[in-house]
Structure 1
Amino acid sequence: MINLREGEIPVIEKRKPYALVAITKHGVAHARSYVEKFPYADLYYMKKFEQGDEETRQIQLFDGTVRLLLPSLFQQYKGIICIISLGAVVRMIAPLMIDKKKDPAVLVVDDKGQFVVSVLSGHIGGANALTHEFAKAIGAVPVVTTASDVQKTIPVDLFGAQFGWMWDSEEKLTPVSASVVNEEHVAIVQETGEKNWWMYDRSIPDNLKIYPSIDEAIMAKPQAALLITDRLIEAHEEVLLENGVMYRPKSIVLGIGCNRGTAMAEIEQVIDETLAELRLSKKSVKAVATIDLKKNETGLLDLTAKHNWPFVTYTPDQLNEIPMQNPSDTVFKYTGAYGVSEPAALRYANAKELLLKKKKSGNVTISIARVNFQEEVQ
């Protein structure tokens, strides 16, 4: 916990580019859901709203006035998103502002989550772009008051953020952003994930060229690249990332079954080993799905809380609605469903085929499906 005192600089643990701060009961409730929808923000809120899972979810609590927290956030984060009244934010950041070339982006979100307002560093600091991306992620209205909005192109460091995409490494964000802004040849290859990422009312710029495969993009010799995939790429494909950024869409659904009392560590080990075998990125896990008999299974609850993964359970009847190649009478005898991990993964992913059919390892059974992005998941 962060204890805030006059005259002292608080120690914070910066993990992500942006900070999200809430100081009211409703603001905290919204903020806890926002960090699941927008994965690039560290969450801070007041200790009096503590709910017990903050350490597991890497949420930082503070005790004292938020005015004493903002200077540290101002210095360390690329942007600050405040669920605090606009007037209060303006008064608190006024003494902290140095120069528009150095100040971080500052946004304000109302307590009901209806509007996202760009407050400071709209262009150079990226607040306008962040406003649009964050508003889209949480389903709010963006409010940008500058006379001319940001250049209508892809914000590399926020690309796909409204869908929960995460970049693998920030190393090339700056040079790739420069290539995009300077209208150099930028290759885009998308293997999975949401397709409706272009958000402007104009055609995609000519310098941004979409290629159907990594090999074709490499042959085109672009000056920069954006790669959207859930798989671990091969050695010969890495040349595309010499000046490129790789994004991980939330596209993998884990169907899990386990014996009662299975420890979180065992479940996670099976997941890690299985994803490595399939050469899939853990950052692309969208959800864990299982039967409702497991809705209170501690190992699963701890695991999904640790990674902020949605934990979805289905009734036996819901699972039995999913066609299965190998229904199990034994599983039906004990659960009322002819399968657990396979139909749970398929149902959530709204998919017809599995990437991995049922695999048993120790006390854990795992199946994997890729989300069908042509239709919404159930």
Structure 2
Amino acid sequence: MNSEGMLYRCFQVMCGANELAQYIGGALFATPIITTATDINGAFAVDVFAKKHNLFISSRKLAKDVSAALLDKKCVDIDSDIEEFDVKELKKELNPENKTCDIKVRISDKIYDESVLTLIPKDLYIGVGCKKDTDASKLTDFVNEVFIKEGLDIRAVKSVGSIDIKKDEEAIKSLASKLDVPFVTFTKDELNLVKGDFCESEFVKKVVGVGNVCERSVCIQCKNLIVKKTAKDGMTVAIGRE
């Protein structure tokens, strides 16, 4: 293989970047070498689909199992809990005879069995409140508990929100960092403008100027409050969906 071929092969192996190879090939007036089996055989490629739709792949091993099944002409059962993803045509393509399939793919922000490959959209928003100097691991554990209880996949979180006086709160900053999402804050005036039926606290209102931080921090970011305020040991969390 010449240096040109080695370059494209390197891009593919290191980045999974067949699209990148094709893009660079066009820019250099060169022919990219595509060696991925799903591309060569024209089969559905989970990684390409996930990248195109900004979905997180729950398991690389299961993704490989899906590709292997399709290359072996086995059926794959795909479905979606997310309204914006209409997979009717894809279901027909991957399971034309509507059989019971061993391999399952779900597009969802919910928790599924580990045997199911989940393609996870970033469509959930967390609103958080806590006492000053709350232990970071305690807050993270609490939020995890709420997500598990509600059957929601925490990897679907898009951002963490709170009131601006909490902008330097290490526990919330740590939570956002662990989830690898932005930590956004809002003023009391911004939060008070949010319309909705919230679990208000007169005590909290006297202290920070707004009767509910977590629910309002969710609803200022998205339309649907799906988990109302849950409180524990001076910590509160609410969850919303786009």
TM-score normalised per structure 2: 0.76
Residues 279 and 208 (structure 1), Cα distance of their counterparts in 2 relative to 1, 3 Å cut: same
Separation in 2, partners of 1:297, 1:281:
24
- The answer for the alignment partner of 2:61 in structure 1 is 171
Separation in 2, partners of 1:366, 1:332:
17
1:265 to 2:137 alignment = yes
Shift of 1:144: 4.3
- The answer for the alignment partner of 2:214 in structure 1 is 341
Q: How many residues align?
A: 229
| Matching of residues 307-346 of structure 1 within 5 Å | 307-325=179-197, 326-346=199-219
Structure 1 contact 255–368 (Cα < 8 Å) conserved: yes
Q: Larger relative CO (CA 8 A, sep 6+): 1 or 2?
A: 2
- The answer for the alignment partner of 1:186 in structure 2 is 76
- The answer for the alignment partner of 2:172 in structure 1 is 300
Shift of 1:329: 3.4
Separation in 2, partners of 1:311, 1:275:
18
> Over aligned residues, Cα RMSD in angstroms?
3.7
Question: Any idea what SS the aligned residue of 1:300 has?
Answer: helix
| Matching of residues 207-286 of structure 1 within 5 Å | 207-208=93-94, 220-222=99-101, 224-233=103-112, 241=115, 245-286=117-158
Question: Any idea what SS the aligned residue of 2:118 has?
Answer: strand
TM-score normalised per structure 1: 0.51
Of Structure 1 and Structure 2, the greater helix share is in 2
Q: Which runs of 5+ in 2 are unaligned?
A: none
Residues 131 and 147 (structure 1), Cα distance of their counterparts in 2 relative to 1, 3 Å cut: closer
Question: Any idea what SS the aligned residue of 1:293 has?
Answer: helix
Q: Deviations along 1:249-296, whole A, 9 cap, x unmatched?
A: 222211100111112111101111111211222222221111111111
Residues 289 and 162 (structure 1), Cα distance of their counterparts in 2 relative to 1, 3 Å cut: farther
- The answer for the alignment partner of 1:128 in structure 2 is 18
Structure 1 contact 129–155 (Cα < 8 Å) conserved: no
Aligned-residue sequence identity (percent) comes to 25
Residues 131 and 227 (structure 1), Cα distance of their counterparts in 2 relative to 1, 3 Å cut: farther
- The answer for the alignment partner of 1:366 in structure 2 is 237
Separation in 2, partners of 1:105, 1:284:
31
Separation in 2, partners of 1:368, 1:205:
30
Structure 1 contact 290–340 (Cα < 8 Å) conserved: yes
The amino acid across from 1:232 in the alignment is I
Separation in 2, partners of 1:129, 1:225:
26
Q: Which runs of 5+ in 1 are unaligned?
A: 1-92, 107-119, 133-141, 198-202, 211-216, 373-378
Separation in 2, partners of 1:307, 1:193:
24
Separation in 1, partners of 2:103, 2:188:
49
1:355 to 2:226 alignment = yes
Residues 165 and 335 (structure 1), Cα distance of their counterparts in 2 relative to 1, 3 Å cut: same
Q: Deviations along 1:290-343, whole A, 9 cap, x unmatched?
A: 111111112211221233121111122222222232333332222222311001
Question: Any idea what SS the aligned residue of 1:172 has?
Answer: helix
Separation in 1, partners of 2:154, 2:20:
25
Structure 2 contact 21–32 (Cα < 8 Å) conserved: no
| Matching of residues 15-54 of structure 1 within 5 Å | none
Residues 336 and 220 (structure 1), Cα distance of their counterparts in 2 relative to 1, 3 Å cut: farther
